[in-house]
Amino acid sequence: MTRTTHQLWHFHGGLKLPGEKHQSTGTPIARTELPRQLVIPVHQHIGETGKVLVNIGDRVLKGQALTQPTAYVSAPVHAPTSGTVKDIAEYPAPHPSRLSTLCVVIEADGKDEWIQLESRADYKKMSPADLRNLVRHAGIVGLGGAAFPTSVKLNPGPGHQIKTLIINGAECEPYITCDDMLMRERADEVISGAEIISHALNTAHCLIAVENNKPEAIAALNTAISDAGVDYIDVVAIPTIYPTGGEKQLIKVLTNKEVPSDGLPADIGIVMQNVGTAAAIYRAVFHGQPLISRIVTVTGKGITQPQNMEVLIGTPMSALIEQACGYQENADRLIMGGPMMGFTMHCDSLPVTKGCNCLLVETADQHSDENNAMPCIRCGECARVCPVSLLPQQLYWHASSKNFDQVQDYNLFDCIECGCCAYVCPSHIPLVQYYRFAKTEIWNRERDQQKSDHARIRHDFRQARLDKEKREREERLRKKKDMLEKKKQAEAADKNETEEDPKKAAIAAALARVQDKKAKAADAPKNTDNLTAAQQKQVDEANKRRETE
């Protein structure tokens, strides 16, 4: 059933951006050639890294798990094709930090031979927990770009009844069309996925939100819904305003509810999944296929033939570019994601990961030079467009002068880095760069703080133990001394020596003190006996430092 009217609300700010979508929607989703070699980063999502299950030299089949999730927020990765494990080592991965990460390198054997696949078309008989487990082991993460393990989102936790499932097909960033093309070509998979998620969450209502600049996708979804005969899924056409595809923004538009700053959508009875994720869940449940490929939009002025393609995870980006007939002459920036929030790659030999929805190649005339920023003229344009109602100019002011407390008072951590503020800033200040810098800096400080807290606690603990031991030892010594003293006195009394008594007593006391010191010195190393190797190392280092000083 499709309701033609669904009441909609607004979020503050936002931008009407040129869509630039048609460039990549002219041809159907292409299949990419099987690359000779795939590099699969073990860590492709938010959360913990899994444990590697294969060894160099192993033969793996398509769909075989390469890692095993080690924590609750964790997702495994799978072999995208059959072949041999060539290497398990650190390789550069597409991440803003440009750090290398542990990757499994597979040399394809060209046979593309699947593991044994099991269909669970009878998923309605499965318990939500079993279904979640299936999704978890299929390595499914949010395909909208954030790459958060989906199984976690499917578990809203006790006390959270999910009233509405929202399937996010907004795709509000310019240029990106992978969700659009998926909805156009595989609407039935999206609808099936939505049904499965509804079952897992025990929800009776599902909205699929699509920006009204994608009429083909909306039509395809509606057809699929009537074909499937489901009555609780509604397709809602929403206004094309960036960043309406942001989770909290979309919830506001559809329900007028605000997800609390420190809360999750589940807190207000909502779960949101991306259309691509829904389709991936469908494939995992109905065909037993883990997440080993995704649709990537390869587009931009710097690309000869913009298009969408289904790509195996681990394929080098350069292969995609090649398939799109290569770069245009003045290609200047390679961006993973869209122009507003994507981040730049320093080279195109990096592998495609699960979160890579778009490869955008811009030409030199498509972005400004950040070096000619002017001072902020407090025009307030940034605040006018900020979808979170922040005061970006104040954030900038405090971030640039490193007032990290103030910048948090202005709710820096609510900033979604959508880039609206920087887009409109007449002074061309790279505002988002300042916010990222401030966030990283604050995180680092917190980590250091935690570390030093940890160290302090450990130190205090050790100190307390040492103090206690010292007290006990002194107590023992004192007792010993007392006994000696008593004995001496008794002897002296025996000998009936009455002269020069005070002098002798003083000498005895001095002697005792010396003894005491000696005893302490002899004792000292013993205190370190029961240290761990690491602690011992620290102590040694500290001693060495002291010596050299």
Partner 1 sequence: MRFKTASSPHTTPVSSVNVIMRKVLMAMIPGTAATAYFFGWGVLINICLACVVAISSETLMLYLRKRPMKPYLSDNSALLTACLLAMALPQLAPWWLTVIAVSSAIILGKHLYGGLGFNPFNPAMVGYVIVIISFPKEMTQWVPPAVAGYSQLGFLETLQVIFAGSIPAGMSWDSITMATPLDTMKTQLGLELSINDIHQHKVYGPMFSSVSGVGWEWINGLFLAGGLWLAYKRIIDWRIPAGLLGMLFLLSNSFALYDYSSFTPPTFQLFSGGIMLAAFFIATDPVTASTTIRGRWIFGAGIGFFIFVIRTWGSYPDGIAFAVLLMNMTAPLLDYYTMPRTFGHHWSEFPGHHKKEPEE
Beta carbon nearer to partner 1, 12 or 86: 12
Q: Which of ligand SF4, partner 1, none lies near 429, with the C-beta cut-off 5 to 8 A by kind?
A: ligand SF4
What is the closest distance, in whole angstroms, from the C-beta atom of residue 263 to ligand SF4 in the complex? 17
Residue 42 or 418: the one with the smaller Cβ distance to ligand SF4 is: 418
Shorter beta-carbon distance to ligand SF4: residue 23 or 403? 403
CB atoms inside a 10 Å sphere around CB 240: 19
Q: How far is the CB of 249 from partner 1 (least distance, A)?
A: 8
Token pair 């011992």 is found at: 536
123/410 with CB nearer ligand SF4: 410
Choosing among ligand SF4, partner 1, none, which partner's interface includes residue 433 (Cβ < 5 to 8 Å by kind)?
A: partner 1
Q: What is the DSSP string of 454-475?
A: HHHHHHHHHHHHHHHHHHHHHH
Instruction: Select from 38, 125, 133 the least CA-distant residue to 86.
Output: 38
> With CB under 8 A as the contact rule, which of the stretches 201-209, 367-375, 492-500, 510-518 interacts with partner 1?
367-375
Which one of residues 179, 425, 438, 439 is an interface residue with partner 1 (CB under 8 A)?
425
Which entry of partner 1, ligand SF4, none binds 391, CB below 5 to 8 A by partner kind? Answer: partner 1
Q: Residues 6 or more apart from 168 whose CB is under 8 A from it?
A: 144, 209, 245, 247, 250, 272, 273, 274, 275
Query: How many angstroms separate the CA atoms of 10 and 51, rounded?
Result: 44
Q: Which is nearer to ligand SF4, 414 or 497 (CB)?
A: 414
CB 273 within 8 A of CB 162: no
Instruction: Report the alpha-carbon distance of residue 477 to residue 511 in Å, rounded.
Output: 13
The length of the chain is 549
Pick out residues in 383-412 that bind partner 1 (CB under 8 A): 383, 387-391, 393-394, 410-411
Interface residues toward ligand SF4, by CB under 6 A: 376-382, 386-388, 390, 392-393, 396, 415-421, 424-427, 429, 431-432, 435
Q: Is 362 in the site for partner 1 (CB under 8 A)?
A: yes
Nearer to ligand SF4, 237 or 431 (CB): 431
**Collapsed DSSP state (helix, strand, coil) of residue 326:** coil
| # of chain residues touching partner 1 (CB under 8 A) | 69
Please state at what angle helix 275-287 crosses helix 178-185, rounded to 10 degrees. 50
Touching partner 1, residues 314-353 (CB under 8 A)? 318, 327, 331-335, 337, 339-348
| Helices of type H across 156-234 | 178-185, 187-201, 215-228
Taking the CA atoms of 330, 332, 333 and 334 in sequence, report the sign of the dihedral they define. positive
Alpha helices in 2-149 (DSSP H): 128-137
**Binding residues for partner 1, per CB under 8 A?**
11-12, 98, 248, 252, 258-263, 318, 327, 331-335, 337, 339-348, 360, 362, 365-368, 370, 372, 374-381, 383, 387-391, 393-394, 410-411, 414, 417, 419, 422-428, 430, 432-433, 436
